[in-house]
Chain A
C-alpha cells in the first residue's frame, strides 16, 4: 500500500515537472517540414459542410473540401476548383460548369457532376436542418424545396448533363453567384461515405471522423483531438496536388486570445486568429512587425426598435446617431484599427460606395431632440441599451452612453445579457437599443441591404418601407449593368439611413499575427485563407520584442 502510494506520488511529481521541459518550437519544426501551425479561434462544431455555420469551421473545411471554384486570396476572383471552367448563357440565368478531368476524392473516386447534384439536394433538404441552405436560394426552385413547398428534388435547378458537365439554372441573373461556389454550403460531399454511416440527412453519424471522412480538397483529415488540435495532411489524389506547397496544417482552438498571442511569441503558432486590443499599439511600433490588419467585410451597429417610444420618432433616432463621435471612438477605444461607419454596407464592397448622409454634429442632434419634445434632455423617458456580455461591447456602450450624456444630456442605461438571452431578446424585438454585428457571406451590397426588407428574418427593427423592398427585391436584381444596380442600391441605402432604424458605428477589421516565415497568406476583405497558396520559408527565428 505504502509503496503504491509512493510510486504514484513520484510519478505524479515527475509528470508535473516533465511538462516544464522545452523542446523545438512548433514554428521551427513546421518550417522545416512544411507544416503550418494555425490559431483557429475555437473548436469546430463539426466538419459536415451542410451542418456547420461558423468561421473556424470554414477554415478547416476549405482545406479539406473544394467547391466548384476557389477564390484567389489577393483579388478574391474565382479560380477553377472542382470545376475546370464554366460559361454563362446569353441571359446569364444558366451556368454550365465543366468538371476537372483529374478531379478525385481522397479515396481515388472521380469527382463528378452527379456528386454536386446529390450534395446540393442534401444541403437543401428540409430534413437536414441546414442553417445555410439559403446560400443556394438563387438556384431555381431551391427555396421552394428547402421550405417544403415542393417535394421533388429533381425540380431544383441543378442537373448533371453527363459525368463531367453540371448545369445550374438560376431564378434571375445573380452577379454574386460564382462567389457562393466556394462557400461550404455549396460543397460536394461523398455520397457513398455518408450513406455507409446513416441517412443522407442524419446529423449524428460518424462519417466526418478520422478514417471515415472522404474529401476532395488539397488536404485530408489526419488527426482530430477534441479541444486540442485538428491535423490535416496533403491529399495525394487532389487534382492540383503539384501546386500545393504545404505538407500539412495543424489547427488549434485558440479561444483565449491572450494566451494565443503568447503562444505566437514563443513560436508555437505561425498565425493567430486575433490580437488582443491592448497589444496592438506595441505591435504597430515594432520594426518588421508580424501584425497584419485589413478591412473586414462587416459592420458593427446598434439596432433601434422603431416600434417603441421614444425611438418610434425618427428625430430621436437621428439625434442619437448624430451625437456619436465615431472618429473619437475608433481612435480612442478601438486603437484605430477600425473605420467609422455611417451606413450599413462597408465602403468599397465590390467597388460600391454607400451614402454618407450625416457626420458627428451635436448641434443638429440637440435641435432634433428638442424638436422631438426633449429640449436639453427635459422629459427624457430613459432608454435601455442591451448587448451580449463582453468586455469590448461594454467599452463601446459606455463610450456612447457618455457621448449621449454630453451632447444631449440624456441618460441611457446599459444592460448586458448572456448570449442566448440576448439572441432571444433581439429576435423577439424585446429591446429599445441592441448591439448587432453583421459579417458578409459574400462580397456584394445585397448581402447587407436585404437585411432590412419588410419582415426580413434579420431586420429586428420594425423598419418597413415598400419602396425599399421594391428596390432590393425587384429592381436591383433586374438591373442591366453593375452601375445601374449599384445606383439602385445607393438609392435604397439612402432611404434606409434617412429613417435610421440602425445606428452604424464602425466597420470591422481583421487582425492577425503572421510569422515572417509564412508566405502567400495576404490580408483581404473576406479574411479568406486560400491554403493552396501558402508556403513556409525557413527564416531564422527571432524574439518578438514588445515595448
Chain B
C-alpha cells in the first residue's frame, strides 16, 4: 500500500512539472502584457516595472528562477495587485471556493442520491425514466447555461433569490450552490441508480425481504450501504473537480473565490497569478484523485490486493 502511494506521488511530479512548463510558456505567447494599459506607458516606466518583476531577464532564466521560488513554496508577487503575493491571494480566495464546493457537493449528494435511489426502486417505469432524464439533461447542461437560466427564473423573473454575491444578501449562496452542484447531482444519480440496482438483485436483499422486513427498511438498512459505494469513490475527484471547476460559477455570481482570481488573472496577464493558481489547482486534483483511490482500495479488498502487487 505504501509503495503504491509513494509510486503515485512520484508519478505526480512530472505531471505537475509539465503543467508548469506548458503554462509558463503559453501565457508569454499571448498578445499583450501585464503592464499594458489604456494610457500609454512611457518606456522608462515600463523598464522599471519589468525590472521589479524580473521580466527583463531572458525567458529561460525567468523559468528556472520561478522553479526555484516554487521549490521554496513561493508563488511570487501578483502583477495586478502590487504588494500582494500569489500565496496570499490564493489563501484569500480559497475559503469561499471551498465553501461553495462543500455546499455544491451537499446539493449533489442529497439530490443525486435521492433521485438515483428513487429511480432504482422501480426500474424501467416512469419513476425511473423521469429522474434519469432530468439527470441526463443535468449532465449535458453546462454551468454557464444553467447559471444564467436559474438567475433569470429565480432572481429576475420571480425575484425570490439574489442574482449574485456571496454572504452579502441573505440567500445569495443558494443559486451558485445549485448551479455548481447540478451536474454532479446528475452523475451521482446515475451512479447510485446503477449501484442500487446491482445490490437489489443480491441474495442478502432477498433474505431481508424473506424475513418480512418492510421494503423501506430493506432499502435504508441493507441496500443503501452497498449501493452507494460507487458514489463514495466518486466524491474525492468530485470535490477536486468542484474546486477547480467553480470558476465559471464564481464569475457568473461574483463570488470572491479562487476561480474568479484565476479568470481575472488570465485577462490581466497576471503571469504569476495564472501560474500560481494553475499549479495549486493541478496539485489539488492530483492529490484528491490519489485520496479517492486510497479510499476505494480501503473499501475494496480486491483492489487493495491488486495495488499491493504493483
**CB within 8 Å of B: which residues of A?**
9, 12-13, 15-16, 19-23, 43, 45-46, 48, 51-53, 126-131, 133-134, 146-148, 202-209, 226-228, 252-253, 255-256, 258-259, 262-263, 266, 268, 418-425, 427, 437, 456-458
Contact = CB atoms under 8 A, between A and B. Distances in A.
Given A12-B106, A420-B36, A227 B92 contact: yes
Interface stretch (B62-70, B123-131, B159-167): B159-167
Contacts, number: 148
A268 B83 contact: no
Interface in B155-199: 162-165, 167-174, 177
A208 B83 contact: yes
Interface string B18-56: 000000000000111100111111101111110110000
Interface of B: 30-33, 36-42, 44-49, 51-52, 77, 80-85, 89, 92-93, 99, 102-103, 106, 162-165, 167-174, 177, 254, 256, 260-261, 267-269
A263 B92 CA distance: 23
Contact of B31 (A46, A147, A148, A420): A420
A203 B82 contact: yes
A129 B82 CA distance: 11
A437 B37 CA distance: 12
Contacts of A21: 170
A148 B45 CA distance: 10
A420 B106 contact: no
A424 B171 contact: no
B83 A259 contact: no
A421 B32 contact: yes
Contacts of A259: 162-165, 254
B82 A262 contact: no
Contacts of B40: 427, 456-458
A12 B162 CA distance: 20
Contact of A418 (B168, B169, B267): B267
Contact of A46 (B83, B162, B164, B170): B83
Contacts of B51: 127
B219 to A, nearest CB: 18
Contact of B170 (A20, A202, A206, A252): A20
Nearest to A226: B92
Contacts of A204: 52, 77, 82-83, 85
Contacts of B33: 420, 424
18 contacts: A16-B173, A19-B167, A19-B173, A20-B170, A20-B174, A46-B81, A51-B83, A126-B47, A129-B49, A131-B39, A133-B45, A202-B52, A208-B83, A227-B256, A227-B261, A262-B162, A420-B31, A425-B31
Given A205-B83, A226-B89, A263 B169 contact: yes
